[in-house]
Amino acid sequence: MEKHDYPECCDINKVEQLKKNMLDNSILQLMTDLFSSLGDENRLKMVIALSKSELCVHELALTVDSTTSAVSHQLRKLRDRGIVTSRRDGQVKYYTLSDERIRQMLDIVIDFESVQKESEMVEKV
């Protein structure tokens, strides 16, 4: 079945409503940027670490068991997407989360997934 066919199973009004109320592309873009930034294990660990403490590139690399080069590449992505900011102190550049609400969002998801995991464990018992 191709695009823009209207099979019987479809409630066209419902679909039109959903399309009309869909978020702006600019907001969708910001959201997918944020989510895909956090959708990589190393970057997520970096962001979690940075939500707790200001860290330089070397410290981040040690924290997530990676190299300074890989971490620096990842930091660029996080910087470009406005998730982290940096300040320079001499030779060292310190990174932090740019927005407190990212930490809050992380806390909510951590809580969510922890509950998920526990209920899975209960099911197994």
Partner DNA sequence: TCTATATTTGAACAAATGTTCAAATAATCA
Partner DNA sequence: TGATTATTTGAACATTTGTTCAAATATAGA
- Enumerate binding residues for its own copies (CB under 8 A): 1-4, 6-7, 9-11, 14-15, 18-19, 21-23, 26-32, 34-41, 44-45, 48-49, 52-53, 55-56, 58-59, 61-63, 65-68, 82, 91-92, 99, 101-102, 104-105, 108-110, 112-114, 116-117
Locate tokens 């982290």: which residue?
84
Site for DNA in 54-73 (CB under 7 A): 56-58, 66-70, 72-73
Q: Let me know: does 34 contact 81? Beta carbons within 8 Å.
A: yes
Cα gap 106→83, rounded to integer Å: 12
Residue 72's binding partner among its own copies, DNA, none (Cβ under 5 to 8 angstroms by kind) is DNA
Nearer to DNA (CB atom), residue 14 or residue 124? 14
Cβ–Cβ under 8 Å, residues 92 and 56: yes
| Cβ-based burial of 74 (10 A; exposed 0-12, middle 13-18, buried ≥19) | buried
For residue 40, the minimal CB distance to DNA (Å) is: 4
For residues 83 and 103, the answer to whether their CB atoms sit within 8 Å is no
Q: Which residues bind DNA (CB under 7 A)?
A: 1, 7-10, 36, 39-40, 42-43, 56-58, 66-70, 72-77, 86, 88, 90-94
